[in-house]
A and B are shown apart, each in its own frame.
Chain A
């Protein structure tokens, strides 16, 4: 059981570029969550997805950010036209249907120069 796999672990982008972060949930998990952790802050909920559906995106900025969880393949968090304030650790978590305990991945650390 490989757990929740995130890649890349580290990503460096220049301002204005696009960042794509990928998350493969644990085997058997169909629910995916994305959280952002800014320096010296707690994890903040961004978006909750099930296969092919966004269930709750109340924590995601309205512009430049999007997320998907296609029928096949990993979940993708996409940040367009990155700015320095997007520099953070982005954690993905997954759960199986009905479960409340989330299993987290190791995170993707985005640095915007």
Chain B
């Protein structure tokens, strides 16, 4: 059975800190790794990573995939209170359905 494990489960940091969120995966016929941010409403898409070693960046967020070690990290620099959310990692296989296997998420709280 496909599995995605995220760590830490929760994290509290001060505004301005840098955080690294971890995601390891075991996904049969792996295609891509996706990151989502979940606040109170819909999970919103952050990154999709398909190739190893290529960093993707969006503002203060960046992510990279290691297909040899089967993990990905999500970095957030200069955190702000608006970054407080649950960050979800999901593995996508190459099957006929775009079926994502999600981890349980990392709950990030950024305090003043």
Q: How many residues of B contact A (CB 8 A)?
A: 25
Tell me, rounded to whole Å, the shortest Cβ–Cβ distance linking B50 to chain A.
Answer: 9
**Neighbouring A residues of B41 by C-beta, 8 Å:** 106-107
Contact yes or no, B42 A104, CB < 8 A = yes
**Neighbouring A residues of B102 by C-beta, 8 Å:** 35, 42-44
Contact yes or no, B42 A100, CB < 8 A = no
A2 at interface, CB cutoff 8 A: no
Contact yes or no, B34 A48, CB < 8 A = no
* CB interface residues, A 6-55, toward B, < 8 Å: 31, 33, 35, 40-45, 48, 55
Q: Tell me, in angstroms, the Cα distance from A48 to B103 when the chains sit together.
A: 19
Contact yes or no, B101 A101, CB < 8 A = no
Contact yes or no, B42 A48, CB < 8 A = no
Contact yes or no, A43 B31, CB < 8 A = no
Tell me, rounded to whole Å, the shortest Cβ–Cβ distance linking B77 to chain A.
Answer: 24
Closest A residue to B41 by beta carbon equals A106
Q: Tell me, in angstroms, the Cα distance from A35 to B90 when the chains sit together.
A: 13
**Neighbouring A residues of B31 by C-beta, 8 Å:** 100
A79 at interface, CB cutoff 8 A: no
Contact yes or no, B98 A40, CB < 8 A = no
Tell me, rounded to whole Å, the shortest Cβ–Cβ distance linking B99 to chain A.
Answer: 5
Contact yes or no, A41 B104, CB < 8 A = yes
Contact yes or no, B98 A95, CB < 8 A = yes
Contact yes or no, A4 B42, CB < 8 A = yes
Contact yes or no, A100 B92, CB < 8 A = yes
Q: Tell me, in angstroms, the Cα distance from A55 to B36 when the chains sit together.
A: 24
Contact yes or no, B97 A48, CB < 8 A = yes
Contact yes or no, A55 B97, CB < 8 A = yes
Contact yes or no, B42 A107, CB < 8 A = yes
**Neighbouring B residues of A42 by C-beta, 8 Å:** 4, 88, 102-105
Can you list the 10 inter-chain pairs with the closest CB atoms, starting with the nearest? A42-B102, A56-B97, A106-B41, A43-B102, A48-B97, A42-B104, A104-B42, A106-B42, A104-B43, A45-B99
